[in-house]
A and B are shown apart, each in its own frame.
Chain A
Amino acid sequence: MGSDPDVLVVGSGASAVNAAWPLVAAGLRVRMLDVGVRDERYGNLVPDGPFEEVRRTDPQQHRYLLGDRFEGIGFEHLGAGAQLTPPRQWVTRDADRLQPLASASFFPLQSLAEGGLANAWGAGAPAFCAADLAGYPIAHADLAPHYEAVAARIGISGARDDLWPFLGPLDAMQPAVACDGNAGAILRRYARGPDRLHRDGLYLGAPRLAMLSRPLGDRQPTRYWDMDFWSDAGRSVYRPRWTVDDLRRSPRFAFVPRRLVVAFADGPDGVTVTARDLDAGTVETHRARRLVIGAGTLATTRIVLRSLGAHGTRVPLVCNPHTYAAMLNLGRLGDAGDEPRHSLAQLCVVHAPRGPAAPFTVGHYYSYRSLLLFRLLKGSPLPMRHGLAVLRLLSPSLGVLILQHADRPTPAKYCELRAGGAGGDDDVLHVEYALSREEQARIDAVEADIVRGLRRLRCLRLQTVRPGHAASTHFAGTLPMSRRDAPLTTAPDGRLHGTRHVYVVDGSVFPDLPSKGLTFTMMANADRIATLLARSLGALQSAHT
């Protein structure tokens, strides 16, 4: 693997790659250590073509729509990972085995895939605004240039509509991708009288999506094939592994797969990382001037607690509470719903009774089609034959509103590492997570308000499903950013307090979570931390030469 790099980066997910990018761009030598699980089964099976055409023509469709082991049928209750279709399930392969986790209340998705969990994300990419960052030791101005840099790198589409003050200003934004007829019908009704809805705190508009509406490099704009849960046609939806591919073109970047990082040791002149070679079964060390950890909140926490000998120490954990609401759009009844569409969020709903300067709630509305009708029958009280007939009539009017509520740390939400075997890599991360009665009541009240507002737009709630804690897959807050030099916290520049050369760039450092997907902000913050680090290393380099 040649001489020691300047920086070791752990992980290849959204944070890690967007930290590696500015480091490599600054001329530093970067080595990325990652397990790097890849799709070996379904990727090449899914044909290029629109969903309807695939359904009518491909005799092999059952292989990826249901899975070779029929894993796409599944009888379990809706929970974390409900969105993982068979072609996406590789994302979690080996993760629970290699990163044991125990909990009676928290069942997260973990990933050791090349590109991490964002191989299966919904691509929602709102920026945090000033109100969202109220509890952070950094301001929006600190992140703003990095939102722009990441948006230009990965491609974010959106609109300058009523949601602009809530989703954060962004100049480097592509035009919004078109919504489908289902969402379009809701938006048209909204446009007829938004003032009354605004008085009640309800705002609608286009979602911010990491989905292209214009070409970007060798990636293509969405073709509205409605295949986004099944394939990555044209690479129109951003996946961090596209950035890994771009980084691989640089001679200063090395990707070392099949390495499970176990621990680090911070020394006077740099840092040493211990990793397990999963193929050889050996343990090896890597040295560098700096270490950047972006393995995903739970994996990063595990590495940090083990490295600092903090077994048994509780650290906080936050995760957006998650609700699915099945909706019936009465204004769409009778329509065939056969227009071209993409599969991701069609509409963004904001509930902000006190405006953008106070905390607010964000939801995304998805139309239901490409996940197939049989999934809806699973939980319905209808007989199958009549159920199919009814759903066939109603499905163009069905939608799913996904709400992810804000979350703050409390004593009832924490994790701690408990020692396993001698090697340390089978330590078990124990997680406890519970919402207080007050937190749940607040969530219920907000949801009731949103449902009332949508009813005015002739959208009725049919059913509410709470898929359980961790279902949002937005884990954060274990090593929160703090100006105070406290153990198991990070400085605003990402440095892990108590170390000199170790930086954390993923969701671990977010002290709390607003009601927004954190991925875009995680990427922007990783870009910010790495840019600062590149500057400091550049300055050090100049001083030495």
Chain B
Amino acid sequence: MDRELRREAVVFSRYLVRAAPSEALIERYCAANRELFAHEAPSAADAAVLAFARDHAWAVAPLDAGHALLGPASLLRKKLLVMTAILETTPEYAARTEPRAVALPMLGLRLAAAGVAMAAGAAAGLALTLALRHGK
């Protein structure tokens, strides 16, 4: 169990901030999972998605995008939210979530780029999510 959680912590952190988490953050992620999710077994669909994400780190981004639309309350999204919260409340990552000034044209460009990336991720994610759901 802990091995799976530790693997999730690493995969999710790399996805969210492109960096491997420290041992303390991995421990914190495991503790949060024990506190928040240990009381009920995951559904078969949730378990399949998480297992796939653990084994295929590249798939986390499209799966997140797919589940943001198809399964916002899925276990994957909840676990990603937990890792996001843990990273946001860690000094070494705080600066990455602080707002900063940006010129309006640059803001427009960045939002547009994010929109394109999200649309592409969602397209791939929807297909992957549906495939995993039906193939479980």
- A contact set with B: CB distance below 8 Å: 52, 55-59, 61-62, 65-66, 69-70, 72-73, 75, 333-338, 369, 372-374, 377-390, 392-393, 395-396
Q: State which of A383, A385, A387, A392 has its C-beta within 8 Å of the C-beta of B100.
A: A392
Contacting pair B81 A377 (CB below 8 A): yes
How many residues of B are counted as interface, with CB atoms below 8 angstroms from the partner's CB atoms? 47
Q: State which of B15, B16, B72 has its C-beta within 8 Å of the C-beta of A381.
A: B72
A-B contact pairs, 14 of them (CB 8 A): A56-B94, A69-B35, A75-B78, A334-B102, A373-B88, A374-B84, A380-B68, A382-B118, A383-B65, A384-B15, A387-B68, A388-B84, A388-B96, A393-B111
CB distance from B88 to the nearest CB of A (A): 5
CB distance from A33 to the nearest CB of B (A): 36
- B contact set with A: CB distance below 8 Å: 15-16, 28, 31-32, 35-36, 61, 64-65, 68-69, 72-73, 77-78, 80-82, 84-86, 88-91, 94-104, 106-107, 110-111, 114, 117-118, 121-122, 125
- Please report the C-alpha to C-alpha distance between residue A52 and residue B28 in the assembled complex, in whole angstroms: 22
- Please report the C-alpha to C-alpha distance between residue A59 and residue B28 in the assembled complex, in whole angstroms: 12
Contacting pair B107 A334 (CB below 8 A): yes
Q: Given A70-B32, A73-B32, are A56 and B91 also a contact pair (CB < 8 Å)?
A: yes
Name the residue on B nearest A75 (C-beta). B78
- Please report the C-alpha to C-alpha distance between residue A502 and residue B16 in the assembled complex, in whole angstroms: 60
Residues of A within 8 A of B69 (CB): 381
Contacting pair A389 B114 (CB below 8 A): yes
Residues of A within 8 A of B82 (CB): 70, 73
Contacting pair B36 A62 (CB below 8 A): no
Residues of B within 8 A of A386 (CB): 65, 114, 117-118, 121
Contacting pair B85 A55 (CB below 8 A): no
- Please report the C-alpha to C-alpha distance between residue A273 and residue B61 in the assembled complex, in whole angstroms: 62
CB distance from B106 to the nearest CB of A (A): 8
CB distance from B62 to the nearest CB of A (A): 9
Contacting pair A383 B68 (CB below 8 A): yes
Name the residue on B nearest A72 (C-beta). B85
Contacting pair A384 B81 (CB below 8 A): yes
Residues of B within 8 A of A395 (CB): 99
The listed residue with most B CB atoms (<10 A of its CB), out of A61, A62, A336, A384, is: A384
Residues of A within 8 A of B110 (CB): 389, 393
